């Protein structure tokens, strides 16, 4: 198994776990038009953890990579919402929010390598 695959798995597992440890942070940055935001935060955290585990097994790697790509595409909604102003940014500096957009494309490409 490649070291970058292990790093990717750890990264998404950590991100997913944080949805359960700090759900209020994630709820705060979600656009208001989403209903049942706490449920969606916990659901997305669980999915992130499941996908991170799936990356570690050859049989589930491809479907997990596709799931990660789809998840990252949906997360663009949240990332662009955070750029709307200080009220939505959760204290994250604007330059980091802007930098995160191209990084998102790199993360999509990285997952694509394992389809």
Share of the chain above pLDDT 90, in %: 88
Q: Is the pLDDT of residue 1 over 80?
A: no
Cβ neighbours of residue 52 closer than 8 Å, sequence gap 6 or more: 8, 9, 10, 11, 12, 13, 16, 64
Q: Which of 51, 71, 74, 73 lies closest to 63, judged by CA?
A: 51
Q: Which of 115, 24, 34, 92 lies closest to 101, judged by CA?
A: 92
Q: Which of 72, 21, 20 lies closest to 46, judged by CA?
A: 20
Q: Is the pLDDT of residue 86 over 90?
A: no
Residue span of the structural domain in which 63 resides: 3-112
pLDDT tens by residue, 18-47: 999 999 999 989 998 999 999 999 999 999
pTM to 2 decimal places? 0.91
pLDDT band at 113 (very low <50, low <70, confident <90, very high): very high
- Predicted confidence at residue 3, as pLDDT, reads 94
Place of tokens 């694509």: 112
Task: Count the domains in the chain.
Answer: 1
């Amino acid at each position: 198994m490649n070291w970058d695959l292990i790093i990717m798995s750890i990264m998404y597992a950590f991100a997913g776990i944080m949805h359960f440890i700090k759900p209020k942070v994630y709820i705060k940055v979600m656009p208001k038009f989403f209903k049942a935001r706490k449920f969606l935060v916990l659901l997305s955290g669980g999915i992130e953890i499941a996908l991170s585990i799936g990356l570690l097994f050859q049989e589930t790697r491809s479907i997990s990579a596709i799931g990660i790509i789809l998840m990252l595409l949906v997360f663009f909604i949240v990332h662009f919402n955070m750029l709307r102003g200080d009220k939505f940014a959760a204290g994250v500096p604007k330059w980091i929010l802007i930098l995160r957009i191209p990084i998102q494309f790199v993360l999509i490409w990285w997952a694509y390598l394992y389809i």
